[in-house]
Amino acid sequence: MSSSNQITSTQTGHVLSVRGSVIDARFPDELPEVHHMLVTGTDDRIVVEVANHLDDETIRGMALTSTQGLARGEAIRDTGHPVQVPVGRETLGRVFNVLGETIDGKGPVDIAERRSIHRPPVPIAQQSTRRSVLRTGIKAIDLLAPLEQGGKAGLFGGAGVGKTVLLMEMIHNMVTEYEGVSLFCGIGERSREAEELYREVEEAGVLKDTVLVFGQMNEAPGARFRVGQAALTMAEYFRDDAKQDVLLLIDNIFRFVQAGTEVSGLMGRFPSRLGYQPTLGSELSSLEERIANTQTGSITSVQAVYVPADDFTDPAVTHTFTHLSASIVLSRDRASQGLYPAIDLLESTSGMLSPRGVGERHYRIARTVRETLAEYEELKDIIAMLGMEELSREDQRTVNRARRLERFLTQPFSVTEQFTGREARAVPLEATLDGCERILNDEFNEVPERALYMIGRIEEVETSTASQR
């Protein structure tokens, strides 16, 4: 058993039944409280969290580790406290699991303080109302769906459209310039992605300001279900005690919902719509509401959200939407055209995109870009049936602008550099606004569309055009 969760109680019971990751146990003397951590098995290697009380002597628990080898009748002990994770500056540069144990092969963390993963959200009266924009260096996001510092942004997309790549690029761009602490929480993702992310953060030289917490795909559903709370407890220390700004990246929030569905089914609860757990809304809220601003620090969250079968009406997706201040939607259609990042420029939105939030010039340019792209979308059917020649001169100009804007808002990423051979570009907001404004003013009508594809600043077009002459 890890030193991170030492036993402080000797209350002992015995296992009544084991159904996958759900364990029923009888405690004849005194019932452990809900959320208390229980240990059983050889060397206390099996960790169970109390989910509910079945009667005066029986609890039903959710295993956070594999239950392989556990038998009926085995002793099970109450630790007297919930699962606790280490907090403090000593966690920086390390990789943890849901129990707060290190999994990076560098030995345990020498730290005094540990806190429960179950903590209440900051009261509304103590939350800050200040609003400011967080820059990512990614043109399409900074222009059309700017992130709010201390807000929650969602990356929505089906399988294989680039959620993890976009999240890793944001880490690369923002962590190097972001004055604060970054915390990455991997919920139910592949072990390979965790290893790649660790190397990426290490090579970028920002590991010393980053904490990584993983509940991976091959772990028990209980571990995937609770790893988000473990990561938030660590993040709250930096916000509340160290009084720093925290960038919290979660990949993937849908796997949190999925783990809850698995646990709920094993617990014997009746499912609600489309097979999800009846407690979906409250479980998601208990996680999301802990991400908040205070007067002394903030937690800014960027969350990847898998969209099952590209269905945005799925309950897991619609419940997540309600918590977000910005929604970045990834489009399979754009991905199929090779327009990366495959961000849907019309569907992606942000509460910060207003004259008060981003300034008059940014708002005006963003609105004009969106109007141009929306007009192009309406003209696509006519173009497909009759061709460009049948459009009016003004409509042809709109199509030319829209196609150049679409290509200008693509961008080569550092995380894909080894695959594409294109040098990465992080673009300041002013350069993005200048480029879009000049395209809208028809300055690049004579330039081929492909000249604007996968570039950074608009000046790169002029440089390449001059060299060709």
Active-site annotation, residues:
163, 189-190
405 neighbors 399 (Cβ within 8 angstroms): no
Find out whether the peptide bond into 278 is cis, omega within 30 degrees of 0. Answer: no
Strands (E), 113-244: 114-116, 133-134, 147-148, 152-157, 181-187, 210-215
Q: Running DSSP on this structure, what letter comes out for residue 197?
A: H
Greatest C-alpha distance within the chain: 88
Alpha-carbon distance of 428 to 34, in angstroms, equals 49
Q: 371 CB contacts (<8 Å, ≥6 apart)? A: none
β-strand partners of 17: 24
49 neighbors 35 (Cβ within 8 angstroms): yes
Find out whether the peptide bond into 86 is cis, omega within 30 degrees of 0. Answer: no
Strands (E), 271-354: 298-306, 326-329, 349-350
Residues in the chain, total: 469
**332, exposed or middle or buried, with CB in 10 Å at 0-12, 13-18, 19+?**
middle
Alpha-carbon distance of 107 to 101, in angstroms, equals 9
DSSP conformation letters of 52-69: EE-SSSEEEEEESS--TT
**74, exposed or middle or buried, with CB in 10 Å at 0-12, 13-18, 19+?**
middle
Place of tokens 């002597």: 57
